[in-house]
Amino acid sequence: MDQRKPVLTDRRLLIVDDHPLFRQGIRRLIEENSDFTVVAEASNGHEAIRQADIYKPDITMIDVQLPGVTGLNIARILKKQHPSMRIVILSMHIDDDRLFEAVRVGASAFLTKDMEGPDLVRSLEQVAMGEQIINVAVLSRPDLARRVLTEFRHLTGEGGPSERPLSNRQRLPLSVREIEVLDCVAQGLSNKEIADALYITEQTVKNHMTAVLRKLSVDDRVQAVLCAVKNGWIEITPPVSEQPASHSANS
């Protein structure tokens, strides 16, 4: 009798990295600490495309630095050929340019290789549930968030809020509390931090965000924030620590 565990929906992984030891370590970590199944491995872009066509993974983890075709270009190809596939980008470090490109190709997550094993598994769980956890990284970097907004406007052929007459801007469909939650999201706060800031529960935060996504007809938090900024409902501002210090009266 076949004793192998059944492969659950949204639990099939493809690992793409040119270092065999790293692939083997990631595979062991995932299979020993979760119910994800690694259906295939690839060491370069061509293998990744072939394995994706054969095994149809739900999630593909791609090293950003691959020999030949880069990881981000492979991600772009895979998303085009398999639109429902979720992409997780792996990198030694995060920089704005790579993060920006990861957003453009439709990646669900951008993770660093120095993260702890439980954090990696937790991130994969979130991606499997359809979360775009790359949003947290984007929204925590105000300059990058503005860059993404500019790209969004360019792709949709729309100008910024100040470039369009008020009559052409979408009327505010959100409640005051929903705007407060969305503003916190734009500041890069987690659900727990939002709950603490607004004196509500994390579940209430999630309920508000679900309502926001539905009312704005968007798929994730980044799109919701971009929609709100585009219509002038909120602004993306640097954290207090990044804002210029005000001069004291004695200066």
> How far apart are alpha carbons 218 and 113 in whole angstroms?
30
Under 8 Å between Cβ of 88 and 126: no
The CATH number that domain 12-131 falls under is: 3.40.50.2300
Q: What is the pLDDT of residue 9?
A: 54
Q: Which pair of tokens denotes residue 133?
A: 């956890």
**Model's pTM, two decimal places?**
0.62
Say whether pLDDT at 39 is over 90: yes
Whole-number average pLDDT of the chain: 80
DSSP 126-171: HHHTT--THHHHHHT-HHHHHHHHHHHHHHHT---GGGS-GGGSPP
Amino acid at 221: R
> How far apart are alpha carbons 45 and 62 in whole angstroms?
9
Class of domain 141-237: mainly alpha
Q: Tell me the C-alpha to C-alpha distance, in Å, between residue 210 and each of 23, 106, 214, 226.
A: 36, 21, 6, 16
Say whether pLDDT at 141 is over 60: yes
Q: Tell me the C-alpha to C-alpha distance, in Å, between residue 200 and each of 94, 193, 194.
A: 32, 10, 8
Q: Which helix (H) or strand (E) holds 112?
A: strand 109-112
Would you give the DSSP letter of residue 44? S
| Residue 63, beta-bridge partner list | 90
In the chain, where are the structural domains located? 12-131, 141-237
Under 8 Å between Cβ of 44 and 23: no
Q: What is the pLDDT of residue 171?
A: 60
DSSP 81-110: H-TT-EEEEEESS--HHHHHHHHHHT-SEE
Say whether pLDDT at 91 is over 50: yes
Q: What is the pLDDT of residue 18?
A: 92
Under 8 Å between Cβ of 56 and 13: no
Q: What is the pLDDT of residues 167-223, one digit of tens each?
A: 334 567 888 788 878 878 877 788 898 898 888 999 999 999 999 999 999 888 888
Q: What is the mean pLDDT of residues 47-55?
A: 91
